[in-house]
Each structure stands twice: as C-alpha cells, then as structure tokens.
Chains A and B, each alone.
Chain A
C-alpha cells in the first residue's frame, strides 16, 4: 500500500516535469516538420517566456489571467522575429547553414540577454502569485501547481490538435511538411505558414516557461539549456516531426527522470535517459512513431 502511494506520488512528479517537456518538445517537432530544421534557439524562447512572466508579475503587478496570454504573445513575436531575421534569408541555403545559424541564435540570445542592463546573468527568485495548496487524496497528495500544469498542458494540446487537424492552416502545415514545393504550387502561402508554425511553437514554449517558473521558482538566463536538450530528446524519441510523438516523448522523459531518481540513483538519471534514447534510435531510428523518411 505504501509502495503504491509512493509510486503514484512519483508518477505525479514525473507527469509534472514531463508535461513541461512536452510543451517545449512540440515546438521542436513542429518546426522540424515544416522546415527540417532543429531550432536550437527554442530552449531560449522558453527562458524568454519565464522572464517575461517575471517582469509582468513583479514589475507590472498584472493579474495571472493576463500574464498567460501576454507572455505567450511576447514569445510568439520573438519566434516570428527569429524566423524572419535569421532563418528566412537562408531558406534556399544548405540545411547545415540553417542549423549552425540556429546554434548562433541560441548563443546570441543567452549571452546578449545576460548583459547587465537586460536579464543579467544572475539567479532571480520568481514571485509565485499564489500559495501552494495540498490536496490529500486517499493514496497520494497533489498540489495546485501540479494540477495547473497538467490542466494547462492538456488544454493547449487539445487546442493544438484542433488547429492542426481541423483548420485550413493546419492542413497547410501538414501539406508543407509533406512536400514544400508541391504545397506552394497548390497555392499554400509557404512563408505565412512557416511564420505561423514558429508563432505557435514559440507561444507553447512561452507557456512552458511560465509553468516551469511556477513549479521551480527561480529563473536565470541559462535556464533554457537543459530543459531544451531534454525536450529535444523527447521530440526525437517520439519521432521528430510528429505531434503526438513529442507529447509522449516528453512524458516518457519526465517519468523516467523521476523514476530513476526514485528507485535507482539520481546520479544515474541523465545517463539512463540518454541510454533510452540510444536504445530507441537503434531499434527504431525514426523514433517511436516515425514511419518513413521525410514524411510526417
């Protein structure tokens, strides 16, 4: 009985972490789907989201209901800007140039924003706008933060699903990921749809940033690196370019992190995660849900 409630509690811990990874992984996977680009700056957009929320909450004292949409709008704009300034001029260049540019954008964001008048390189306490409440259920306890994270993630996934599978923008996105040239011949506005993909992905990363800062209330300019890498692994694990693959990958990474720490040793944690990645890539090189080359 005690073991069961322990496992359940650790599962909640894992889901909390995995949900945030899933939100970030979606951005990686969507951008890869349409552009075949691994957007390394994605983890930094996540960081930007956490900082935007910090400024809105602590400097402007905005209510939490406004912080969510405003933060997402700001990171969406940042994603749009990055694509227009850094990636669009390289649309016809070799893929490797695009990849290296992505690394450059990531480093630029980190080190430029760590300058003293901007975000500074310091660790900043994040003002959580509400107190933590415990709900003691028969077998385990959950906190309001965990519920919030799971709920917000579920809602945004549902919304994303509607966007991609039930709107013409979603159809255009899927068409682009199949064949960019053919899609453009069929009248799909390629540039517009690529921008849209970046906007949606960056908004989700911003959302992830807020939730992450709520759960772990300390932010700094390099906070996006590790979650970025973990989410990238999640996206690859699920099959990069595949929406539900990214979500499942995120949850798998989050749960395995927690369970390795809970039952083995926390020092082994990252080792085990990368081992899982190796295993999946050896057995299924396109990830868990990957089917054929160059198809979503």
Chain B
C-alpha cells in the first residue's frame, strides 16, 4: 500500500514538473531486431541504441514517442510477421531495422506495400532498397552497401596484406553472405589475385571439416568468411584446429563481443570491414560512446551506432515534417542531406543508400582495433 502511495506521489510530482508532457502528441515507432537467436548481440545493441535515441529526442522533440520493439530471431518469416503487426495493429509511422539483410529484404517489401517509411541501420545487401533495378521509395539505410564493402575487403587483402591467393567460404542460403562473397571474388581477381577455393555451406551446418581439408590443399594466404559472428567463430576454430594458417577476413557481420568469446585464439589477430570504429574521434561519436558506455557498461558496436543514427534520422524527419503522416515524413526523408550522425555524415543517394567510408578493424582480445579507413 505504501509503495502504491509513493508511486502515486511521484506521478503527481512528475505531472507538475513536466506539464508539457501531456500536451505532446503521441506517435509510435517500431524497431525490428533479432533479440534472440543466432545474432542476438546485434539485437541487444540496437535495442539499447534505439531507446537511447528516443530518450535523446524526447528532450527537444515535438512528439512523445512510444517505442515498440519486435524480435525477428534473425528469421525472415518472423520479421515479416513483426512488420505486419507493427504496421496494421500498432499503427507505427515508421520502422527502424531490421538489422540483417535476410530479414530486411522481405520486410522492405511489406513497408513498401503499406507505404510506411523504413530506415535500416545495418542491412547492407543491395536488394534491401532495390528490387529488379527498381528503387523501393519507402526504404532507406544509414550504411554503405555490400558491393562497396566486399571490394574494400578484397583490396585490403591484395594491397595491405599482399595476398596472392585467397579462398572464400560463404553461406549459400543468405543473400548477405552470398553477395559479399561474389564481390570479393570479382574484385580480388581483378587485382591480380587468385581465388583458390570458393565453397559454400548451408545455414544450419556445423561441420566444415570437409571444406577446410579441401581448402587446406591450396594453402590460401587469405580466407574470406562473410557471415555472422556465431558461424564465423565456429568456422575459425575448425580452420585453426585443422592447422590452416591463412589470415581470416570478414565483413560487418563479425561485429559482436561474442566473436572473441566463442572464437577465442582462433579469431584473434584477424580482420573485418566495418561501418565505424569505437576509437572514432568526433564530437557526436565521442558523446554517444561515453553515454552508451556509462549506461550499458561496454563500448557500442556498429549495430548500436547505426541504429542510433537511423532512429535519429527518422525522428528528425518526423519533427521537420510536423506530422506523423507517413507520406509527409517520407518527403523529408527523401530530401535528407548531410545528417551529422555518430557514424559520419549521411546523405542518401538515388537508391536511398548512405554513401559512407568503411573502416578495417583487427580483432583483439579487448575489442576491435582500428586499422584503416577506406573512402568510396
């Protein structure tokens, strides 16, 4: 009884302190992210950042935001169901996410059909914003796309690591993994390198011994593994257990604290391409990193940083539009230029993709270490 009274007193006190809170119009915005499943740290990071962005917006924003968070388990069907529920039942004005391309592609079709703006922070497959060469006008992203990322990785292998031979291992059932593998192969071969192994596996595979023994015959200097951290850690361990020495290289799917936890010694000292480095020296980034650290006890990864930017972009557009009508918000989004975010300056190109530089990080025990920046 006492505690109920106490809560009541606080509530009344708050009402007096913030009389404006009542006056603001309430709008809903949804986040679709993998909170459980094989890439759950992606979901956790982006959920933290999403709520932080809404909190930051609420201090000055014109609207009161109700955040809705849906779990997609990194599964296309779950993601599509979550999107339909957010749009038709909860009536959100916009969607943040999904984080992985394989979920973002089907969800983008739903957003498109229902005419709800969607901004994904981290889905890098070109198919998210473009379908059969046709732009999906309601879909945007705050990150670069895989043709760029794959070529950055291939050039790093050829020029910085001076590798002459490389092998590629990718998940054939995942558009993200497949797309990166193709670009890497094409770019690496163009740079006079030789691809000595190009093999795929399925999503649920755990035994890579046959593929690794096969690759081991060719002794490649670099092995490119464009997949998410869980699978990468497992493959890396088996690669080292088979005595294969080449440098491992990957994409932004590696960005998780779990990578080192599961991969251990096998993964340390290898490289991946990413969207931003937590060592970034920039006013907005440093402020965000400090705040995230004090709130969640660890350095924000690129999933957190990009989801923060994506959320800020859509909320900023909402304010500028002055209405939660999806069409009006869309107009502002389409015209967005030079948005100053945690991960850099964001301007959407004709496909709704952000044109940004990539960084190369080295996996270290304490966290990823910054190596180089590559501009598009």
Listed in ascending order, the chain A residues whose CB lies under 8 Å from chain B are: 2, 6, 9-10, 13-14, 16-17, 116, 120-123, 125, 132, 134, 141, 143, 212, 215-218, 220, 222-223, 225-226, 257-259, 261-262, 265-267, 269-270
Name the CB-closest residue of A to B201: A266
**How far is the CB of A270 from the nearest CB of chain B, in Å?**
7
Q: Which residues of B contact A261 (CB under 8 A)?
A: 199, 210-211, 214
Max chain B C-beta neighbours (<10 A), residue from A2, A212, A261, A269: A261
Q: Are B210 and A258 in contact (CB under 8 A)?
A: yes
Give bound CA distance, A9 to B209, whole Å: 10
Q: Which residues of A contact B241 (CB under 8 A)?
A: 132, 143
Asked whether B13 is an interface residue with its Cβ less than 8 Å from the other chain, the reply is: no
Q: Are B233 and A125 in contact (CB under 8 A)?
A: yes
CB-contact partner of A266 in B206, B211, B243, B261, under 8 A: B211
Using an 8 Å CB-CB cutoff, how does the interface string of B201-218 with A read, 1 for contact, 0 for none? 110101101110110010
Q: Which residues of A contact B230 (CB under 8 A)?
A: 123, 218
Give bound CA distance, A134 to B217, whole Å: 17
**How far is the CB of A1 from the nearest CB of chain B, in Å?**
13
Q: Which residues of A contact B207 (CB under 8 A)?
A: 13, 17, 215-216, 257
Q: Are B243 and A220 in contact (CB under 8 A)?
A: no
Q: Which of B34-42, B281-289, B334-342 lies on the face that meets chain A?
A: B34-42
Give bound CA distance, A116 to B35, whole Å: 11
**Interface size bucket, B side?**
20 to 34
Q: Evaluate whether A122 and B37 lie within 8 angstroms (CB atoms) in the complex, with A261-B210, A266-B200, A267-B172 already known.
A: yes
Name the CB-closest residue of B to A269: B202
Using an 8 Å CB-CB cutoff, how does the interface string of B19-56 with A read, 1 for contact, 0 for none? 00000000000000000111010000000000000000
Using an 8 Å CB-CB cutoff, how does the interface string of B159-185 with A read, 1 for contact, 0 for none? 000000000000010000000000000
Q: Are A226 and B204 in contact (CB under 8 A)?
A: yes
**How far is the CB of A222 from the nearest CB of chain B, in Å?**
8
**How far is the CB of B134 from the nearest CB of chain A, in Å?**
29
**How far is the CB of A263 from the nearest CB of chain B, in Å?**
9
Kindly list 20 other residue pairs between chains A and B, CB separation below 8 angstroms, not including A13-B210, A17-B209, A258-B209. A2-B217, A13-B213, A120-B36, A123-B37, A123-B40, A125-B258, A132-B241, A134-B243, A141-B243, A215-B207, A216-B238, A217-B234, A218-B233, A222-B204, A226-B204, A258-B210, A261-B210, A265-B200, A266-B199, A266-B211
CB-contact partner of A262 in B73, B204, B213, under 8 A: B213
Max chain B C-beta neighbours (<10 A), residue from A2, A9, A14, A116: A9
Q: Evaluate whether A122 and B210 lie within 8 angstroms (CB atoms) in the complex, with A216-B234, A267-B172 already known.
A: no
Q: Give 18 A-B contacts (CB < 8 Å), ordered by A residue.
A: A6-B213, A9-B213, A10-B214, A13-B213, A14-B210, A16-B209, A123-B37, A143-B241, A212-B206, A216-B207, A216-B238, A218-B230, A218-B233, A223-B206, A258-B210, A265-B200, A266-B201, A266-B210
Asked whether B237 is an interface residue with its Cβ less than 8 Å from the other chain, the reply is: yes
**How far is the CB of B255 from the nearest CB of chain A, in Å?**
16
Q: Which residues of B contact A123 (CB under 8 A)?
A: 37-38, 40, 230
**How far is the CB of B223 from the nearest CB of chain A, in Å?**
15
**How far is the CB of B20 from the nearest CB of chain A, in Å?**
37
Asked whether B262 is an interface residue with its Cβ less than 8 Å from the other chain, the reply is: yes
Q: Which residues of B contact A132 (CB under 8 A)?
A: 241
Give bound CA distance, A270 to B38, whole Å: 22
Q: Which residues of A contact B234 (CB under 8 A)?
A: 216-218
Please give me the 5 A-B residue pairs with the lowest Cβ-Cβ distance, nearest first: A261-B210, A216-B206, A125-B262, A13-B209, A258-B210
Give bound CA distance, A122 to B262, whole Å: 13
Name the CB-closest residue of B to A125: B262
Name the CB-closest residue of B to A212: B206
Give bound CA distance, A16 to B242, whole Å: 14
CB-contact partner of B261 in A13, A125, A257, under 8 A: A125
Q: Are B73 and A121 in contact (CB under 8 A)?
A: yes
Q: Are A6 and B217 in contact (CB under 8 A)?
A: yes
Give bound CA distance, A55 to B204, whole Å: 23
Q: Which residues of A contact B38 (CB under 8 A)?
A: 122-123, 220
Give bound CA distance, A140 to B148, whole Å: 41
Give bound CA distance, A105 to B230, whole Å: 28
**How far is the CB of B232 from the nearest CB of chain A, in Å?**
11
Q: Which residues of A contact B36 (CB under 8 A)?
A: 116, 120-122
Q: Which residues of A contact B202 (CB under 8 A)?
A: 269-270
Q: Are B206 and A122 in contact (CB under 8 A)?
A: no
**How far is the CB of B187 from the nearest CB of chain A, in Å?**
22
Q: Are B217 and A225 in contact (CB under 8 A)?
A: no
Q: Which residues of B contact A266 (CB under 8 A)?
A: 199-201, 210-211
Q: Which residues of A contact B258 (CB under 8 A)?
A: 125
Give bound CA distance, A270 to B209, whole Å: 16
Q: Which residues of A contact B237 (CB under 8 A)?
A: 217
Tell me the chain B residues, 243-273 only, with Cβ under 8 Å from chain A: 243, 258, 261-262
**How far is the CB of A153 from the nearest CB of chain B, in Å?**
16
Q: Are B200 and A10 in contact (CB under 8 A)?
A: no
Q: Which residues of B contact A14 (CB under 8 A)?
A: 210
Give bound CA distance, A212 to B210, whole Å: 16
**How far is the CB of A13 from the nearest CB of chain B, in Å?**
4
Q: Which residues of B contact A217 (CB under 8 A)?
A: 234, 237, 262
**How far is the CB of B196 from the nearest CB of chain A, in Å?**
15
Tell me the chain B residues, 279-303 only, with Cβ under 8 Å from chain A: none
**How far is the CB of B278 from the nearest CB of chain A, in Å?**
23
Q: Which residues of B contact A116 (CB under 8 A)?
A: 36
Q: Which residues of B contact A2 (CB under 8 A)?
A: 217
Q: Are B213 and A10 in contact (CB under 8 A)?
A: yes
Give bound CA distance, A13 to B36, whole Å: 32
**How far is the CB of A51 from the nearest CB of chain B, in Å?**
15
Give bound CA distance, A14 to B211, whole Å: 12
